[in-house]
Amino acid sequence: MPLLADFLALTLAGQEPVAKEARTPSGARVRWLAEGVVEVMPVAAEDAGLDLVLSAGVHGCEVVPIRLLDQLIQRLERGDIRPRARLLLLLCNPPAMRRGVRRVGQDLNRLFCGAHAGQTGWEADRAALLERAAAEFYRTPGRARWHYDLHSAMRPSRLPQFAVCPWVPDRSVSPQSLWRLGEAAVDAVLVQERPSATFSAHTATRHGAEAFTLEVAEAPDGTWPACLDRLLDAAQGWIEATAVPAGLAGIRPQAYRLAREIVKRSERFVLHVPDDIENFTPLPPGMLLAEDGPHCWVAEGPHDHILFPLADVAVGERAALIVEPRPW
């Protein structure tokens, strides 16, 4: 079986390739490092000095990002993409992907930045393995480091594609990053203002990577939104290390900040927003959002919008975010 072309099929089947190394038509070297972990090394003379991590499948039910990453892999296999960046391609949560569920045990995207330490279970072990893979990949100093962790919010959104920028002390989002996101049809960026334990937060804080959790578009009728083609073409440009124009004339996404979190405190928790409410829906002041015993959450500010509402989470996890626009 071709190593790169069958990367997804092998991972879903729980199999390893017979040959652990291969070459793309452009001469790039491909290495299978572990289940769901493949490295692509460009020809030395064409190496642009960029280390790029592309990951998907942290939540196994998020099929669109997995398909999108597989389409990029197929372009690499056919020779349609000639990589000038070193690539680490990650299918992060194979057991959840095989079952088509968000998670089998713990939420993998809450176990990074060392949060897996002292924990048991497959997800904790997997978070540790992915952290080691990133550390080994980013081992060479002096190279640019990027990471795009592909997700889908699993619900319609007023802003079809958006990114989450992890908090890093004393760092702002660069104009070059915003241009790249705009070219990828990203409509908004939620700029976090405190630490988190997501995969993109790990690579940003531990390795200094320009890292984003990228929530890709999905259509309720199962069609392929046109903005995904723009994202695919932009990602091809990342892999080919296409230079950012000096003028930075692309459309800049809208910035948002986190105003409040709705956290499930007990099994009495009730989320009162409609099941089909869209991400980034504006909330009228005074609207009851959730209750948990004596605790309740209501919309407060005139610019409150809801993001990631999900009642079926573990006690202690967030069930929704309330965000508001902010200037860059």
How would you label 129-158 residue by residue, b for 16+ Cβ within 10 Å and e otherwise? bbbebbeebbeeeeeebbbbbbbbbbbbbe
Angle CA 115–116–120, to nearest 5:
145
What is the distance between the alpha carbons of residues 255 and 138, in angstroms, rounded to a whole number? 29
For residue 254, the SS3 value is strand
67, two tokens: 């398909």
To the question of whether residue 151 is assigned a binding role by annotation, the answer is yes
Sequence-distant (6+) residues with CB within 8 A of 142 are 49
Active site residues: 215
Do the bridges between strand 188-191 and strand 162-165 make them parallel or antiparallel, or are there none, so unpaired?
parallel
How many whole angstroms separate alpha carbon 36 and alpha carbon 153?
Answer: 22
Do residues 87 and 239 make contact, with C-beta atoms less than 8 angstroms apart? yes
- Tell me if 274 sits within 8 A of 297, measured CB to CB: no
Backbone angles phi, psi at 85, to 5 degrees: -105, 150
Q: Measured between alpha carbons, how far is 19 from 38 in angstroms, rounded to an integer?
A: 13
Q: Is 35 marked as a binding-site residue?
A: no
204 close to 177: Cβ distance less than 8 angstroms: no
Tell me the C-alpha distance between 31 and 23, whole Å: 9
The phi and psi torsions of 188 (rounded to 5 degrees) equal -150, 155
- Please state the separation of Cα 127 from the chain's center in Å: 14
Please give the Cα distance from 278 to 140 (Å, whole number): 42
Q: Is 62 within any annotated ligand binding site?
A: yes
Tokens representing residue 263 in the block:
């956290």
Residues making up the binding site for Zn(2+): 59, 62, 151
Residues making up the binding site: 59, 62, 151
